[in-house]
Copies of this chain bind each other. A is one copy, B any other.
């Protein structure tokens, strides 16, 4: 059955690969699944046809026969659980890989997502100067323990998994800020992830659409 995902007609990041369709493309490339992409404008995202796929009016979505999914974490998990390549066979190791997916999305990404508003959108607000250091400290409070847990390992728990795919995708958001470079083990971890051929193909595919 054909897999179709949606992506921004024009990504706000201009092709840096930070839009969430990149995470799906990466998972599909790691598992060798062909897919099609339907581009959606900001206006179309809020119209009924798209809201039927995604009640919150965002991208990406995933369609495969009768199955319609939204929510990046759920889609990556679905891909990883249906096709070999992103989850270990051992049940306990599999549970830990899923744990790192949730940790990436629920423990690490929320403070990371506060950075752009705090640095850019609120820059002119009276509180910006006082609040930004608090936001950065919250991010460091996640990165420090994560770097400690990773230690000198290549990946978070044995072989590369959907947990690493998600964690690296989240950490990639920090590259421009300089915060990632404060944690050399994490910077090297992200570089290892980016060097994977599947990531390279996913990145190139989104860049082909979004390059300005």
Which residues from chain A sit less than 8 Å from chain B, CB to CB? 51, 55-57, 66-67, 69-75, 77-78, 92, 95-96, 98-99, 101-103, 105-107, 109-110, 113, 125-127, 130-131, 142, 145-146, 148-149
Contact = CB atoms under 8 A, between A and B. Distances in A.
Q: Which 9 pairs from chain A and chain B are nearest by CB? A: A127-B127, A74-B99, A73-B102, A55-B149, A74-B102, A71-B102, A67-B92, A55-B145, A78-B95
A46 B179 CA distance: 23
How many copies altogether? 2
Contacts of A56: 103, 107, 142, 145-146
Given A106-B105, A127-B127, A70 B99 contact: yes
Contacts of A78: 95, 98
A98 B127 contact: no
Nearest to A95: B78
A28 to B, nearest CB: 15
Given A78-B98, A127-B125, A131-B127, A71 B145 contact: no
Contacts of A99: 69-71, 74-75
Contacts of A96: 67, 69
A161 B148 CA distance: 35
29 contacts: A51-B145, A55-B145, A55-B146, A56-B103, A56-B145, A56-B146, A66-B92, A67-B96, A69-B96, A69-B99, A70-B103, A71-B99, A71-B102, A71-B103, A71-B107, A72-B106, A74-B98, A74-B99, A74-B102, A77-B102, A102-B105, A105-B105, A106-B106, A106-B109, A110-B113, A125-B127, A126-B127, A126-B130, A127-B127
Contacts of A69: 95-96, 99
A167 to B, nearest CB: 12
Contacts of A72: 102, 106
Contacts of A67: 92, 95-96
A41 to B, nearest CB: 19
Nearest to A163: B74
Contacts of A109: 106
